[in-house]
Amino acid sequence: MDNTLNQHSKILTEWADMGRKFNQPMAIPAWHSIEPFIKSCQKFLEHFKKDLEHLKKETETLLEESSKILSPFQDPFCIDLSSNRWFAGCREENYSDWLAWIIEQLKEPRLIFRLLDIDDEIMLKECEGIKPDVKREECVKEGHEGQEGRLDITIRYPSKLLIHVEVKTNSAEEADLGKNVGYKKSLEERYGGTQYHRLLVTEAEETSYDDYKVLKWTDICIKLRKMVLEKQIEQPLAASLILSFTGAVEQNLLELPHIHAENFDSRTFDYIKKILEGGCNYDKN
């Protein structure tokens, strides 16, 4: 009994000592020790603000130049296309719908081949003068193993060629690619003949996945810009809508801020400068 009381008393004494420590008044830190840090932060923010303003002015100059060569249209970065509800959610169906419509507007096989990175001069000549059949959500026998599937975009030149484009609004590594093997098998069984399969993504570590050659949204946007610039699109209204779609992809999927965005940074400047300098690979076809 005495041992138990002694043990409890010891514990209570330890707790009392700890309590007395907590009751000690805490020293209030002196603000003068942090003043140099605050001042250095203020100077940094002032420099950052000036740099941002300078960057915006430089970007505005680039956008003026870009709008000039895109005349009578403006560069899409001049307006906010990220708040458009049709594109803001990055739904694959919306981007697929618009891309399929754009492919229909291109009409000439050389433009479609150029956009989808198809280097086949013999097939290009065979497809000349043939109106392509562009479909969305075409049903096929197999996607994921044991399941039916629906294809994002198919472009068919009857008895000549079939092009299948799977559209993703993220990277290849983040996307569900498991059904592509079944898609390809189903198309080969249904149509046979010459076929090209494309995987459209924002980024990719490989150049192809299961015989689907990678296309990047960046290259698609630059090629479409160049087609508008070169007056390859016959109808001005179609050209303006294509340019708007390009801007929506750039601002939403590629996450490049427009000129009036609060989070504006150097990425847009670098992107426009690269286009104006012809530094991208859109001329390879």
Q: For residue 218, is pLDDT > 90?
A: yes
Taking only the tens place, the pLDDT of each residue in 229-254 is 999 998 999 999 999 999 999 999 99
Q: For residue 282, is pLDDT > 50?
A: no
Contacts of residue 130, defined as CB under 8 A and 6 or more positions apart, other chains included, come to 109, 157, 158, 160
Nearest to 75 by CA among 83, 87, 67: 67
Which 3 state secondary structure label does DSSP give 140? strand
Torsion angle in degrees (nearest 10) through CA of 181, 185, 188, 194: 20
Distance of CA 144 to the CA centre of its chain: 25
Instruction: Provide the CB-side half-sphere exposure for 283 (13 A, CA).
Output: 6
Q: For residue 75, is pLDDT > 50?
A: yes
**What is the mean pLDDT of the segment spanning 254-265?**
88
Whether the CB-CB separation of 65 and 141 falls below 8 Å is answered with no
Please tell me the distance from the alpha carbon of residue 67 to that of residue 242, in angstroms, as a whole number: 15
- Helices 217-229 + 92-106 axis angle, to 10: 30
Q: For residue 89, is pLDDT > 50?
A: yes
Contacts of residue 219, defined as CB under 8 A and 6 or more positions apart, other chains included, come to 117, 280, 281, 282
Specify which residues 208 forms β-bridges with. Answer: 213
For the entire predicted model, the pTM comes to: 0.78
Which 3 state secondary structure label does DSSP give 205? coil
pLDDT number for residue 271: 93
Query: Predicted confidence band at 196 (pLDDT cuts at 50, 70, 90)?
Result: very high
Summary mean pLDDT of the chain: 85
